[in-house]
């Protein structure tokens, strides 16, 4: 058929111009081409040549600055314009299909207009981002011309009687309106920006965010197209593939999304609520109102998008039913009747009766619906993240202002607050994510039921009834699920507690051969956990069943409903908790009425230190200062301004109702001098410090502070406390490096830092740490001993440049040398010589002579204050009492002084740390060597290669753990289930086609319905089988992996625990086991389901139209690359999201614990600033993760839409030519509609699976640990039952090392110990004393020589036997939670009388007798409810219980006072007269009564003889030790 612009029929009216040129339709259409050609000619050169010089006018980082008015309106109008033009092209083609020749003028102008519209928006975008508005004049002309030519066409249609019944008339009218509106937008730009026709154009500046190079999150700033398709993320995701994403790569948050901005918005809403209803300003109702007021608008937007998307979603099924209907009729277009201006016109009904038109419409509807749906998700999630940031900031500010009584009275614990932050804020965030569903659900259900009713009649209502019936079942299952979840959590917490104890005491367990007891205890808890996990799995399977039923009832909504309902309930509970927290008492509330406006930084609220809780009423004191200053002035003048703090007639209490803790306090603390506060335990010394800092409730009296600077008279009127350097009794450390803990937010001064380190004798400790003073300490780093923690806390107070220093018992955990050194170098030299005011609470009375002023306390009152001389005169009795105590302490000092007067580190196992460090360094060296070798092949590329790969090996390990039976069942059931699902749909399609083709009334449905019912039942059964198979597999693997891991770890050699951080082993048992227990099975199920659904959908489409396979190839390639790039970025962002959450939660718990210190230092604002930084970095990671997910989903949805379009076009064509049945066309299209959903889920689950398999990989790494060799060469029958009966030890040429690649720690040691001898071993730190004791237990690697006990070489014995027949007491006392009985005898072998006897020997009988329950009294975790000395005694008793003939004491009396130690020495000598006792001595005088003494140095025996013999030799090392110890 020939082609002509106006057609070439013989009687064509196309060239007829008798009635005037403008009445010729073809001419008018040709005229309409002119504006478009004009635009294309003008803009192309400009677009291609570019406008390089102009863009330099504004220096901004991003080309996303959108600043022309009407920007979004222009984009929306352009999109509508493009859609109308597509319709116009289609209308032209369809109406022209019935003519004899082709009329190009019906659709070519529309095609040109389509091109021009795209060009116009590209041109506009480029001009806007390069900020050169003068070039917009071209668009002004274009819109004007287009508007005029279209109007002419429209007018001519009206003249010729074309009306609304013709589609072309409506489209032309629409185009006139659209061009007119675009013209108006263009004129508006000129009006506002004045870039042309005005003398002075308007200057504009880009927003602050775009000028900031750090802002990389561009979603709020880009144009509509980029916003909808997340186009701006492309570069980000591409770079993620090249190098890993870190916090630097994601940059800063835009200002509008920062926690501070959102907090201010929320606070404003709270204030507005307060003003509305003053009686109860903090109830949950007002919190909901405030949240809606602050964050309601974006939610309304999100809900609107959601409802729009849901309504558009119904276009899919309607179009498909139309296509099937028309294909059934052969797609015969009704021949148009009307011919005007020489061409045919068609109505909209005729237009929509074309199956191809419906296919294109379906494509557009899908694109629009998916874009809007993703926009709705994005807006809801962004709002949720903003809300979370705001609430966290709100909670933090409340913490900073909380009064202490909440904490001390147990109304609020640190744990509760951390839960509020970690769990409840996230619940609220999730609620806001799911919120749009609340309004969208009803709309969806109602419209769905109506549509079904319209299509199917009354039977649709049956489906609705099924949904209604299933809803309560779903709700019931949901509640059961959450209960199962809760009990699982409780058991897993208990299991972790046990595992933690087991790992902390692993050395003891191995030495006592108790591994099996603890192993079975952990396994027992694990069994309970598995039982509740089984319940969880069962309910999950049932909920899958409900999904299955609801699918047959043709609805997916039910599942989401149960989810939303659960989320809503949780959110209500969270808000209730939040309102209780926000209404708890604040500091200084009583005086708020009369106080000056409070500034946000100056007060604070919240404190938790379990027993001594500390934080009270600070502004209160400041306010009283203001009112009392008038009456105070004269006093100051008479007394002179030489005091720093003065309390007059003070009564202080912790709780408003409680009795006074401190009463009648009248003290003066002199300026620039050292004041000591002494008194018995519990007399209120610490409380006095806190009362002075304003942390307690003041019932009466005044506290005056005097700033040291000489102020003017005006200044003195208002005296506020400045910053006070405060070291609390329980040291508080940040999760930061040692250096950051000491400097504590101040500026770094190297000289001062060195001096402080020296004064606190921290250098030796710092040398041991893996990274020196850059080592992370606290929750996320290395755990320090009590003494080290205390000295770092004191070092912080010394380092600060404040005028006042409060030290609360800084010597409690230090030995005598460290205390002396700290007193001399730190307190006297650094502080007092600097004329700083020091208040020191202490029990060490020997330091009293250094004090300038002494305050003695008794039972919460001041007993006496004055100088030491005053007290000697007035309270001679007290002074004498002090004197005797001081003498006792001084003697102790002399005794303990060891040869070199260098401060010895506190009782810390230095050797262990040192060896493990050597090993670490060695490992590092090896690693470095490996790295340098591999440097040749590009290092980065190999890392990237690793990142892009799926961890297949871990996946194989996971599945192989399931066993031979389960794996085939899993695969087969999944395949069968999906086959049956496809069969059901195919059968329905066949049934429909047969009904249509039969066209007779006597169609027999019975056969069809029978097969259908059988298939449905099969489907339901298979659904249950697959979900059970998946859950069962998951549980079996979880059980097996945990069992193997526990076995491996508990049997690992001691070396492993010394070189592996405890935290990382615990993480395998907590986070990784949790992932394997709960997350992997669900992800695996989802992944297999979505993959199989995707495959079955594509298979069905290909079966219906094989042509589809050709188009599938390019789509599959695109899909592969999208998922490949996405997975890498997603994994990095997911890890960033997790890793940024940890510091945030740590910051909260740190603040709660160290509140007193923060408030004493007046550092509230600095900590708030830190919080904002942590919150923002967590939020930006979450936002990027959300944007990445949307980026993927939009792309997958578009690919899905293309699949639908291709499937529709191919199947329509095939059915027209090959008589494909209409039922199959419907089947193919229905499947095509679902492809995009499955694709999304598949890629998302693949990314999740990859992250989760990391857990399997890490556990797998630990499973490769070599176990100790527990087998012996001798069988149990060859070992005498009572071995070792005599206790004779022969050591022959023994050499020992900690690891095969380390130096020996004992070299060629030989000794002979007769039965019943008492041996003392001494030597300096690191001489090999402890290694000697460990060699008896084969805890270290004996590579030469042997130890023979009672004639048997210990190397031949099974480890279990050897270790269970010897006893040892370690220098670190270890107690386990449980009863005293369990701690003494976990094997349950002894009678009560034996246990009491052991306790009597250990001097503990009276202590235990006094406890409730006696032997069954509870021991808390780590034995925290006993003092260090008592714990050591329990460990002694534990060793006495095992009546073995060989008994080793490794510095076992280090933390026991002198008197008890003397008794013990005697008891050991008498009770163990017939046993061999090896004592490793810390204080040499303890082994003077021994039968033999071994002096060691650097792993070699230096001296070996009776003590009296060695003492007689002048030059013996032992003699010099004893001399120094006198």
pLDDT (0 to 100) of residue 825: 86
Helix axes 355-399, 284-313, angle to 10 degrees: 170
Write down the pLDDT at residue 36: 92
Q: Span 1221-1246, mean pLDDT?
A: 82
* pLDDT score recorded for residue 58: 46
Residue 1491, pLDDT above cutoff 60: yes
- Res 61: pLDDT: 52
| H-assigned helices in 640-737 | 685-692, 713-717
Q: What DSSP character marks residue 1466?
A: H
- Where do we find the tokens 């004041």? 675
Q: How confident is the model at residue 258 (pLDDT cuts 50, 70, 90)?
A: very high
- Chain centroid to Cα 832, Å, comes to 46
CA atoms within 13 A on the CB side of 71: 17
Residue 1263: is its pLDDT beyond 70? Answer: yes
Q: What is the pLDDT of residue 101?
A: 67
Q: Say whether pLDDT at 263 is over 90.
A: yes
Question: What single-letter DSSP state applies at residue 1371?
Answer: S
List, for residues 1295-1326, the tens digit of each pLDDT value.
888 777 778 888 888 888 888 888 888 877 66
The 10s digit of each residue's pLDDT in 1331-1349 is 888 888 888 888 888 888 8
Residue 85 clears pLDDT 80, i.e. is over it: yes
Mean pLDDT calculated for residue range 415-440? 82
Most confident of 583-592, 597-606, 906-915: 583-592
pLDDT of residue 1503: 84
Q: Are 1499 and 1329 in contact (CB under 8 A)?
A: no
Average pLDDT for 684-713: 76
Residue with the bigger pLDDT between 822 and 1222: it is 822
pLDDT higher than 50, residue 56: no
Mean pLDDT of the chain: 78
What is the distance between the terminal CA atoms of the chain, rounded to a whole angstrom? 122
Question: Each residue of 638-661: pLDDT tens digit?
Answer: 344 578 888 888 888 877 777 788
Nearest residue to 402 (alpha-carbon basis) of 583, 157, 260, 596: 583
pLDDT band per the 50, 70, 90 thresholds, residue 1329? confident
Q: CA–CA separation, 951 vs 1104, rounded Å?
A: 37
pLDDT band at residue 994 using 50, 70 and 90 as cut-offs: confident
DSSP characters over 771-784: TGGG-BBSTTSBPP
What's residue 434's pLDDT? 84
Average pLDDT over residues 451-474: 76
As given in the structure block, the two tokens for residue 1307 are 């070299």
pLDDT above 70: percentage of residues in the chain: 82
Where is pLDDT greater, at 1458 or 907? 1458
Q: Which of 163-167, 907-911, 1462-1466 has the lowest mean pLDDT?
A: 907-911
Mean pLDDT of 754-777: 83
| Residue predicted with more confidence, 172 or 351 | 172
* pLDDT attached to residue 117: 95
DSSP state of 674: E
Q: Is a pLDDT exceeding 70 seen at residue 54?
A: no
DSSP element (H, E) containing 1502: strand 1500-1505
Judged against a pLDDT cut of 70, whether residue 140 lies above it is answered with yes
User: What are the tens digits of pLDDT across the range 536-573?
Assistant: 888 877 776 666 665 554 445 555 666 777 778 778 88
pLDDT classification of 1000: cutoffs 50, 70, 90: low
pLDDT at position 629 is 32
pLDDT of 73 reads 93
Q: What is the pLDDT of residue 302?
A: 92
pLDDT at 1019: 85
- Once rounded to an integer, what is the mean pLDDT over residues 1501-1505? 84
Is the distance from CB of 1030 to CB of 969 less than 8 angstroms? no
Q: For strand 674-679 and strand 837-841, is the pairing parallel, antiparallel, or unpaired?
A: parallel
User: What pLDDT was estimated at residue 835?
Assistant: 85
**Do the beta carbons of residue 872 and residue 879 sit within 8 Å?**
yes
Q: What is the mean pLDDT of residues 404-422?
A: 67
pTM as predicted: 0.77
* pLDDT of res. 141: 93
Average pLDDT over residues 867-886: 81
Q: How far are the Cα atoms of 257, 447, 567 from residue 434, in angstroms, in the given order?
A: 20, 20, 8
Contacts of 214 (CB under 8 A, 6+ apart): 251, 252
Q: Averaged over 281-297, what is the pLDDT?
A: 83
The percent of residues in the chain predicted with pLDDT above 90, rounded, is 13
The reported pLDDT for the residue numbered 411 is: 57
Among residues 1190, 1273, 948, the alpha carbon closest in space to that of 243 is found at 948
User: Tens digit of pLDDT for each residue in 1440-1464?
Assistant: 888 788 888 876 665 565 556 666 7
Flag the least confident range among 970-979, 995-1004, 1413-1422: 995-1004
**Reported confidence tier of residue 83, pLDDT bands at 50, 70, 90:** very high
* Whole-number Å distance between alpha carbons of 307 and 443: 7
Mean pLDDT of 1164-1183: 92
Q: What is the pLDDT of residues 795-849, one digit of tens each?
A: 999 998 888 999 988 887 666 667 788 888 888 888 888 888 999 988 777 788 8
CA distance 472 to 452: 23
Residue whose C-alpha is closest to residue 1244's, from 377, 435, 521, 28: 377
Q: How many CA atoms lie within 13 A of 138 on its CB side?
A: 22
Single out the residue of 1468, 1089, 1444, 1121 nearest to residue 1289, CA to CA: 1444
* Predicted local confidence at residue 1458, as pLDDT: 56
Lowest mean pLDDT among 134-138, 153-157, 421-425, 738-742: 421-425
Which region among 279-288, 804-813, 1158-1167 has the lowest average model confidence (pLDDT)? 279-288
Q: How many CA atoms lie within 13 A of 1463 on its CB side?
A: 11
Classify burial at 569, counting beta carbons within 10 Å of its beta carbon; exposed 0-12, middle 13-18, buried 19 or more. Answer: middle
Q: Give 1066-1103 pLDDT, tens digit per residue.
A: 778 877 888 888 788 888 888 888 888 888 888 888 88
């Amino acid at each position: 058929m020939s082609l002509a612009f106006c057609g070439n029929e013989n009687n064509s009216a196309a060239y007829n111009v008798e009635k005037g040129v403008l009445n010729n339709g073809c001419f008018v259409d040709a005229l309409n081409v002119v504006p478009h050609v004009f635009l294309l000619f003008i803009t192309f050169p400009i677009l291609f040549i570019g406008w390089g010089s102009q863009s330099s006018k504004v220096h901004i980082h991003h080309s996303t600055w959108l600043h022309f008015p009407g920007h979004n309106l222009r984009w929306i109008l352009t999109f509508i314009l493009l859609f109308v033009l597509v319709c116009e092209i289609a209308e032209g083609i369809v109406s022209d299909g019935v003519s004899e020749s082709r009329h190009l003028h019906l659709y070519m102008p529309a095609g040109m207009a389509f091109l021009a519209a795209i060009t116009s928006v590209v041109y506009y975008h480029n001009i806007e981002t390069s900020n050169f508005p003068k070039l917009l004049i071209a668009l002004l002309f274009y819109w004007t011309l287009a508007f005029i030519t279209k109007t002419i066409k429209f007018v001519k249609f009206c003249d010729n009687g074309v009306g609304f019944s013709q589609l072309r008339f409506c489209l032309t009218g629409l185009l006139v309106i659209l061009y007119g509106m675009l013209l108006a937008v263009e004129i508006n730009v000129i009006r506002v920006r004045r870039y042309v026709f005005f003398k002075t154009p308007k200057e504009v500046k880009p927003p602050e965010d775009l000028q900031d190079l750090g802002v990389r999150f561009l979603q709020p700033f880009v144009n509509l197209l980029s916003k909808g398709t997340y186009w701006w993320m492309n570069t980000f995701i591409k770079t993620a593939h090249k190098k890993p994403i870190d916090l630097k790569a994601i940059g800063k948050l835009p200002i509008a999304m920062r926690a501070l901005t959102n907090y201010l918005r929320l606070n404003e809403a709270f204030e507005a609520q307060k003003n509305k209803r003053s009686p109860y300003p903090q109830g949950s109702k007002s919190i909901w109102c405030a949240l809606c007021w602050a964050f309601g608008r974006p939610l309304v937007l999100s809900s609107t998008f959601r409802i729009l998307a849901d309504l558009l979603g119904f276009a899919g099924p309607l179009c498909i039913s139309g296509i099937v209907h028309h294909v059934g009729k052969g797609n015969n277009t009704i021949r148009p009747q009307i011919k005007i201006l020489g061409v045919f016109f068609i109505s909209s009904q005729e237009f929509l009766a074309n199956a191809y038109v419906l296919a294109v419409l379906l494509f557009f509807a899908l694109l629009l619906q998916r874009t809007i749906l993703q926009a709705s998700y994005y807006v809801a999630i962004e709002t949720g993240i903003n809300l979370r940031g705001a609430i966290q900031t709100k909670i933090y500010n409340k913490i900073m202002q909380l009064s202490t009584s909440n904490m001390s009275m147990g109304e609020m614990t640190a744990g509760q607050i951390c839960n509020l932050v970690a769990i409840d804020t996230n619940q609220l965030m999730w609620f806001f994510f799911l919120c749009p569903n609340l309004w969208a659900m009803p709309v969806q259900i109602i419209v769905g039921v109506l549509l079904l009713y319209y299509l199917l009649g009354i039977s649709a209502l049956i489906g609705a009834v099924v949904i209604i019936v299933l809803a309560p079942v779903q709700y019931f299952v949901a509640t059961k699920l959450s209960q199962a979840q809760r009990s699982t959590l409780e058991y897993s917490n208990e299991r972790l507690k046990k595992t933690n104890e087991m790992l902390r005491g692993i050395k003891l367990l191995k030495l006592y051969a108790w591994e099996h007891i603890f192993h079975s205890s952990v396994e027992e808890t694990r069994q309970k956990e598995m039982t509740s996990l089984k319940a969880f799995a069962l309910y999950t399977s049932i909920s899958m069943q409900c999904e299955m039923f609801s699918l047959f009832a043709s609805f997916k909504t039910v599942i989401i409903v149960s989810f939303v309902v659960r989320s809503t309930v949780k959110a209500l509970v969270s808000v209730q908790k939040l309102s209780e927290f926000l209404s708890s008492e604040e500091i200084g509330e009583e005086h708020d009425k009369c106080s000056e406006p409070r500034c946000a930084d100056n007060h604070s609220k919240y404190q938790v230190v379990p027993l001594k809780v500390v934080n009270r009423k600070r502004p209160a004191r400041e306010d009283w200062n203001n009112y009392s200053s008038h009456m105070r002035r004269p006093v100051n003048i008479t007394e002179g301004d030489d005091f720093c703090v003065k309390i007059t007639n003070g009564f202080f209490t912790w709780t408003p109702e409680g009795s006074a803790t401190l009463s009648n306090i009248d003290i003066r603390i002199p300026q620039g001098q050292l004041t000591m506060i002494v008194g018995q335990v519990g007399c209120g010394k610490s409380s006095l410090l806190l009362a002075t800092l304003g942390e307690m409730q003041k019932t009466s009296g005044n506290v005056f502070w005097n700033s040291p600077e000489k102020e003017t008279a005006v200044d003195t009127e208002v005296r506020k406390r400045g910053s006070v350097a405060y070291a609390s009794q329980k040291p508080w450390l940040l999760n930061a490096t040692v250096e950051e803990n000491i400097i504590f937010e101040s500026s770094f001064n190297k000289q001062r830092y060195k001096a402080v380190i020296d004064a606190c004798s921290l250098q030796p400790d710092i040398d041991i740490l893996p990274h020196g003073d850059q080592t992370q300490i606290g929750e996320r780093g290395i755990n320090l001993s009590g003494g080290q923690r205390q000295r770092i806390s004191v070092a912080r107070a010394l380092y600060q440049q404040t005028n006042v220093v409060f030290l609360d018992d800084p010597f409690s955990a230090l030995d005598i040398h460290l205390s002396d050194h700290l007193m001399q170098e730190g307190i006297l030299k650094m502080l007092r010589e600097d004329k700083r005011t020091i208040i020191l609470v202490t029990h060490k009375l020997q330091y009293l002579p250094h004090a300038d002023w002494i305050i003695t306390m008794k039972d919460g009152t001041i007993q006496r204050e004055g100088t030491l001389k005053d007290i000697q005169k007035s309270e001679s009795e007290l002074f004498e009492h002090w004197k005797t105590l001081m003498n006792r302490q001084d003697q102790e000092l002399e005794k303990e002084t060891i040869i070199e007067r260098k401060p010895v580190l506190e009782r810390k196992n230095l050797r262990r740390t040192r060896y493990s460090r050597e090993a670490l360094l060695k490992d590092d060296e090896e690693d470095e060597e490996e790295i340098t070798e591999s440097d040749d092949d590009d290092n980065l590329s190999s890392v990237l290669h690793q990142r892009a790969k799926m961890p297949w090996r871990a996946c194989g390990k996971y599945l192989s753990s399931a066993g031979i039976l389960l794996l085939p069942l899993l695969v087969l059931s999944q395949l069968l289930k999906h086959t049956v699902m496809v069969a059901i749909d195919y059968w329905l399609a066949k049934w429909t086609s047969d009904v249509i083709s039969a066209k007779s009334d006597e169609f027999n449905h019975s056969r069809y319905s029978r097969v259908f019912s059988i298939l449905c039942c099969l489907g339901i059964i298979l659904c249950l089988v697959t979900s059970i198979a998946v859950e069962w597999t998951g549980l079996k693997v979880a059980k097996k992996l945990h069992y193997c891991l526990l076995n491996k770890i508990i049997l690992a050699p001691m070396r492993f625990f010394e070189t592996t951080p405890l935290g990382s082993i615990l993480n395998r048992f907590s986070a990784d086991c949790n992932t394997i227990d709960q997350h992997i099975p669900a992800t695996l199920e989802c992944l297999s389901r979505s993959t199989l659904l995707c495959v079955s959908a594509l298979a069905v489409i290909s079966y219906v139209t094989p042509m589809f396979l050709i188009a599938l190839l390019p789509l599959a390639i695109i899909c592969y690359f999208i998922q490949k790039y996405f997975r890498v970025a997603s994994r990095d962002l997911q890890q960033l999201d997790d890793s940024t959450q940890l510091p945030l939660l740590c910051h909260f718990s740190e603040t709660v614990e160290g509140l007193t210190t923060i408030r004493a230092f007046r550092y509230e604002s600095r900590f708030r600033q830190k919080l904002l930084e942590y919150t923002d970095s967590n939020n930006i990671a979450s936002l990027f993760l959300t944007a990445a997910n949307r980026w993927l989903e939009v792309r997958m949805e578009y690919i899905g839409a293309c699949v639908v379009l291709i499937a529709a076009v191919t199947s329509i064509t095939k059915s027209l030519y090959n008589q494909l049945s209409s039922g199959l066309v419907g089947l193919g299209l229905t499947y095509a509609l679902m492809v995009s959903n499955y694709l999304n889920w598949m890629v998302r689950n693949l990314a999740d699976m990859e992250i989760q398999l990391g857990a399997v990989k890490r556990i797998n790494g630990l499973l490769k640990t070599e176990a100790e060799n527990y087998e012996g060469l001798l069988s149990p029958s060859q070992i005498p039952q009572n071995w070792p009966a005599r206790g004779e030890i022969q050591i022959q040429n023994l050499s020992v090392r900690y690891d095969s690649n380390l130096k020996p720690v004992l070299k060629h040691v030989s000794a002979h110990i007769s039965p019943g001898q008492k041996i003392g071993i001494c030597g300096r730190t690191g001489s090999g004393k402890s290694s000697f004791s460990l060699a008896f237990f084969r805890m270290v690697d004996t590579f030469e020589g042997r130890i023979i006990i009672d004639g048997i070489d210990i190397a031949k014995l099974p480890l279990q036997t050897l270790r269970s027949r010897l006893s040892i007491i370690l220098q670190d006392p270890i107690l386990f939670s449980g009863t005293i009985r369990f701690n003494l005898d976990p094997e349950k072998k002894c009678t009560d009388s034996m246990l009491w006897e052991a306790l009597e020997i250990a001097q503990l009988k009276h202590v235990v007798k006094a406890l409730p329950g006696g032997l069954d009294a509870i021991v808390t975790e780590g034995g925290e409810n006993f003092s260090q000395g008592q714990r050591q005694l329990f460990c002694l008793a534990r060793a006495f219980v095992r009546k073995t003939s060989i008994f080793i004491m490794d510095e076992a009396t280090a933390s026991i006072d002198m008197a008890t130690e003397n008794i013990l020495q005697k008891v050991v000598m008498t009770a163990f007269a017939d046993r061999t006792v090896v004592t490793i001595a810390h204080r040499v005088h303890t082994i003077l009564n021994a039968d033999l003494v071994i002096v060691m140095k650097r792993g070699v025996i230096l001296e070996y003889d009776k003590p009296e013999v060695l003492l007689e030799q002048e030059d013996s090392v032992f003699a010099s030790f004893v001399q120094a110890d006198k």
